A and B are shown apart, each in its own frame.
Chain A
Amino acid sequence: MDGINRKERAGRIERSGVNRRQFGTLLAAGALVAGSGWPLPASAAPPVLRVRIGSDIGNLDPARIFQIENQTVATQIFNGLVKYDEASNAIVPDLATGWDISGDGTVYSFALRSGVTWHKGFGPFTSDDVKFSFERVLDPQTGSSYSGQLASIKSIETPSPDKVVITLKEPNSGFLHKVSAFNQGWIVSRKALGEIGDKAFALNPIGTGPFVFQNWAPGREVKLSANKDYFAGAPKVEEVQFRVIKDETAAAIALENGEIDIFFGLQQPEVIQRLKGGGQVTVHDRDANHTINLVLNTSIKPLGDVRVRQAIYHAINRKALIDGFFKGTKSEASGFLTSSFQEFTDQVPLFPYDPAKAKALLKEAGVGSFSLDLVAPGANPYDKIVVPIASDLAAVGIDAKIKVLERGAYLQARNKGTVPTCITGVVGAPDPDSPILSLFAKSSFPPGLNTAHYEGVEDLIAAARNAQGDAARKEVYGKIQAKVMGDVPVIPLYADHLYIAHTKKVSGFVQNSLFTMSAYPVSLLEA
């Protein structure tokens, strides 16, 4: 008895020893905080905004950025010369306070905001950083997938630190889209890239935005802290944490329990219905700027025959997919552009669900039953939507085989351009050139996104570049849409619709149509 007691006592002493040491550390930390003159929080912890992302980040370098999670984190860190207004999609000033376009439409002069500084003491932002950023994207050595977006630039001059003049090779009515705050439009710091290094910059980004990159715990979370010196005023939250929660049901439970504040990347129809029905949280939805398409590789038999492609279009019951599988959480698409584009037209050839007509077209093309691989990335919902499509195609005698590839393998297969079909959506800005050049221009043949190997609108693309004025643009882009949709290099399966949910604590949130979100306007109410 006695022996046990003594041991216990000894244990207690040992434990209290640890406590004392911990206490000492706390004291020291407290003294440091107090000494550095930081205001100690009066009551609760500083406001931290916790956002769910569906998969981990990998590269935040604007020249090489890809995937919505990376783009969403980068949105907080970087600015562009101009940006899309979150609510209206109009192009508004960002780092540039204003701009002039020369009469012939080839010279763009931007007046830059003064007094803007880079994060983490990398000095003031100047016109040289703009020149550096765009030239870096254009440099073949960078290997940027967005160099094509800026290809119309002839030269960039910096007459003064707050003025940048960009001269184009030929007029380009959509040029402001290319320098908007997204992907290649995000401006990076010459000094930071020089010191941090080209490769390391991907996960040590330095921007001018409202939040500063702090650290990244792979597979778990990304932490950003408020940029107190942000030119538009300090953000209303101290810190943003992007937490990786893959499973949507788990994320929905975390949101309802208040473990996260914003549920980004809400996709699963059942989860959307559940969160909407629960009434505990706010669910926002908005039309995205992209459609999800089934790309048909026209260089592969028998997809080279336009009648076969039209037959496949007729065979797919897209309405059932939207109503049955997506429970109405997506919208029907008439073409590859969504109605959120100013240049959108619904005057395009349509191929409604009609299995009998599909069979007739296949017969007319002299194609009996053939086998077709449906290649999809292993990500929800793309690996799922191919299942009913395969069933629809089987009904008209096409032996559709589903090939779901893990993301890396999928990108590789698509870039090779040898896959007969694939599922692709060009996520991004309401700039019609973005999907048109990516999916249908000869310059985007694999390894670009033109897996269809389609080249039917080369002349119209050239005409579109020179079209000045809204009416002329609308006309030529309308022609492009009509021509493409008649040739069916892609079948628009549905127009994407974005959902974001947040708790009632979150106020000031504005949903954009870019498939990203900005934490800047958000504040947290006391519970």
Chain B
Amino acid sequence: MRYFRHPGFLIGVILLTLLLIVAVAAPWIAPMSPLETDLANTLAPPSAAHLLGTDQFGRDVLSRLIWGTRISLQVAVAVMALSLSLGMVIGAVAGFFGGWVERVTVSIIDILLAFPGFLLALALVAARGSSLESVIIAVALAFTPRVAAVMRAVVLTIKPRTYVEASRAIGMGTMRLLFLHVVPNSLPPVIVVATVSAATAILAEAGLSFLGLGVQPPAPTWGNVIADGQSFLASNPLISLSAGICIAVMVVALNLLGDGLRDTLDPQMRRSSGRVL
């Protein structure tokens, strides 16, 4: 398998698999409930009972991080699925049909791309009210123009290819042509973009939660854990730090995976060396 000869890809896959296992098995491996407070034991230093200590409400930080993996992965997968499907359809239609459809779509994409993605997500969450669903929708909508722009660019390079022309010449219908030849062949670069945006989505969720606009406390998300620990950075730095490390690991894993996918899947974007590490 050529994928597994790529060390970055391999590391990314291993890390993500581990995180996935943690997320799925959270109810069994978390030592305590992530919501149960113990006001007699607040801001405790790490001990055998609380490996990462407790927060200001006496909740076990490790348990909150383990449960937080679930929400982060949920956001990553949902954002990826949503922005991928929406962006691909918009980009493919714009690139394949051309004409005024393309001009209008490209203008809208360009306008949306002019906004920083996070700001767009912030505005959408503020308008919809904060909850897990709004965060997913907001971040997905913020990333959709990026996916659509890439998709359109790829479709434009595929459209004039001989096999597309040939299929058209033998009388294949437009829709069949689009979904049988054009879309499958433009997948690799788009998947790479989507993987990297999944990493950005996790950062966006953490950022929104930190600002109090994301998933509502007391839900255990990494962003919330950082926000909770913020006031105690001087006395109990481990709370925010450990959540920060979780986010970093997840984002690095997704980026390694994205890099690996790019190097192996996409000949156009492949680096000259073919190696990441």
Which A positions have Cβ atoms within 8 angstroms of B?
248-249, 268, 270, 317, 320-321, 323-325, 378, 383-384, 387-388, 390-392, 394, 402-404
Contact = CB atoms under 8 A, between A and B. Distances in A.
Contacts of A323: 39-40
A392 B57 CA distance: 12
A404 B39 contact: no
A473 B234 CA distance: 51
A320 B57 CA distance: 10
Nearest to A321: B39
Given A270-B231, A324-B58, A404-B216, A388 B39 contact: yes
Given A325-B56, A378-B212, A402-B217, A388 B37 contact: yes
A391 B218 CA distance: 10
A394 B35 contact: yes
Contacts of A248: 231
Given A270-B231, A324-B40, A391-B37, A384 B212 contact: no
A248 B36 CA distance: 27
A324 B38 CA distance: 8
Interface string B200-239: 0000000000001000111000000000000110110000
Given A317-B39, A325-B42, A387 B57 contact: yes
Interface in B25-46: 35-42
Most B CB within 10 A of own CB, among A248, A320, A391, A392: A391
B85 to A, nearest CB: 31
Interface pairs A-B: 3 shortest CB-CB:
A324-B39, A320-B39, A391-B37
Nearest to B43: A270
Given A388-B39, A394-B36, A403-B216, 19 more contacts: A248-B231, A249-B234, A270-B231, A270-B235, A317-B39, A320-B39, A320-B40, A324-B40, A325-B42, A325-B57, A383-B217, A387-B37, A387-B217, A391-B57, A392-B37, A394-B35, A402-B217, A402-B218, A404-B212
B68 to A, nearest CB: 16
B211 to A, nearest CB: 11
A390 B216 CA distance: 13
Residue among B38, B212, B231, B235 with max Cβ neighbours from chain A (10 Å): B231
A498 B232 CA distance: 22
A393 B75 CA distance: 29
Nearest to B35: A391
A325 B39 contact: yes
A49 B260 CA distance: 61
A323 B41 CA distance: 10
A482 to B, nearest CB: 29
Size category of the binding interface on chain B? 10 to 19
A376 to B, nearest CB: 10
Contact of A391 (B36, B42, B231, B235): B36
A402 B216 contact: yes
Interface string B43-66: 000000000000011100000000
Given A249-B234, A390-B218, A403-B216, A384 B56 contact: yes
25 contacts: A249-B231, A249-B234, A268-B231, A270-B231, A270-B232, A317-B39, A323-B39, A323-B40, A324-B38, A324-B42, A324-B58, A325-B39, A325-B42, A325-B57, A378-B212, A383-B217, A387-B37, A387-B218, A388-B39, A390-B35, A390-B218, A391-B36, A391-B218, A394-B35, A404-B216
Interface of B: 35-42, 56-58, 212, 216-218, 231-232, 234-235
Contacts of A268: 231
B57 A404 contact: no
A270 B41 CA distance: 15
Nearest to A323: B39
A404 B234 contact: no
B36 to A, nearest CB: 6
Contacts of B35: 390-391, 394
Nearest to B38: A324
A325 B40 CA distance: 9
A388 B235 CA distance: 21
A320 B36 CA distance: 13
B275 to A, nearest CB: 46
Contacts of A392: 37
Nearest to B233: A249
Contact of A404 (B42, B217, B235): B217
A378 B216 CA distance: 11
Nearest to B219: A402
A394 B57 CA distance: 15
A391 B58 CA distance: 11
B136 to A, nearest CB: 19
Contacts of B41: 324
A257 to B, nearest CB: 15
Contacts of A384: 56-57
A209 B217 CA distance: 44
Contacts of B42: 324-325
A387 B212 CA distance: 14
A388 B55 CA distance: 12
Contacts of B217: 383, 387, 402, 404
Nearest to A395: B36
Contacts of B39: 317, 320-321, 323-325, 388
Contacts of A390: 35, 218
Nearest to B42: A324
Contacts of A402: 216-218
A390 B57 CA distance: 11
A383 B227 CA distance: 13
A246 B179 CA distance: 55
Nearest to A322: B39
A418 to B, nearest CB: 15
Contacts of B234: 249
A138 B217 CA distance: 42
A383 B224 CA distance: 13
B239 to A, nearest CB: 13
A392 B37 CA distance: 8
A524 B216 CA distance: 45
A324 B57 CA distance: 8
Contacts of A321: 39
